[in-house]
Chains A and B, each alone.
Chain A
């Protein structure tokens, strides 16, 4: 079974600064995918960034980037130039391409507050 651990229940960051959210996972699979989802106070969950395990290059989407360490089973999210709109719950999620379709295993989330 896969597990996903987010060790920081809450974090805060000053506007315009950089913050890193941690995520570790445990799996025996070799071919899998990792995601960061964001859930703003309005509640709709949206995808922030994704990473395929077979790719060594870290994914980047504008101000969001990941530090993917496959051997350490670590997948942290870095948010640069934090904005007030980044205030949200952030969930790390794991998926693997087994059984024809895949389920997502989520971490418990990190509540990020961006302070003006």
Chain B
């Protein structure tokens, strides 16, 4: 089974701090994704990565950046955390190949609170 591991399930940080959310997958997937999940808004894509050192903006990239130095690891960075970034953050990975109907595999999520 694919395993996507997010480094923290709960995280509390202060306004203005630089925050790192880490995600590791063990299936050699090319594609990795960061979403935020808010009640009534569903999942919204922040950033995704096709491969190592590649990144693309999703629907809501403002206030975030990402890093993908190794294939298995995809980090989400809040450069200067703000209270409106309090949310649930979900990481996902997916095999590309030639089979486009492959699903994304999700981590358990990190509930981030910015005080």
Contacts and interface: CB of A to CB of B under 8 A. Distances in A.
Interface string A71-108: 00000000000000000000100010100111110111
B43 A91 contact: yes
A43 B94 CA distance: 19
B58 A95 contact: no
A63 B104 CA distance: 22
A9 B101 CA distance: 27
Contacts of B101: 33, 50, 52, 95
A107 B42 CA distance: 6
**Chain A interface size range:** 20 to 34
B109 A104 contact: no
A35 to B, nearest CB: 6
Interface string B5-22: 000000000000000000
Nearest to B88: A43
A16 B71 CA distance: 44
Nearest to A53: B101
A52 B48 CA distance: 23
Interface in B74-102: 88, 90, 92, 94, 96, 100-101
Given A50-B103, A101-B50, A44 B108 contact: yes
A50 B102 CA distance: 9
A35 B104 CA distance: 10
Contacts of A106: 42-44
B25 interface: no
Contacts of A46: 106
A101 B42 contact: no
Contacts of A9: 40
Interface of A: 9, 33, 35, 37, 42-47, 50, 52, 91, 95, 97, 100-104, 106-109
Interface of B: 30-31, 33, 40-45, 48, 50, 58, 88, 90, 92, 94, 96, 100-101, 103-104, 106-109
8 contacts: A33-B100, A35-B103, A45-B106, A91-B42, A91-B43, A97-B100, A108-B40, A108-B42
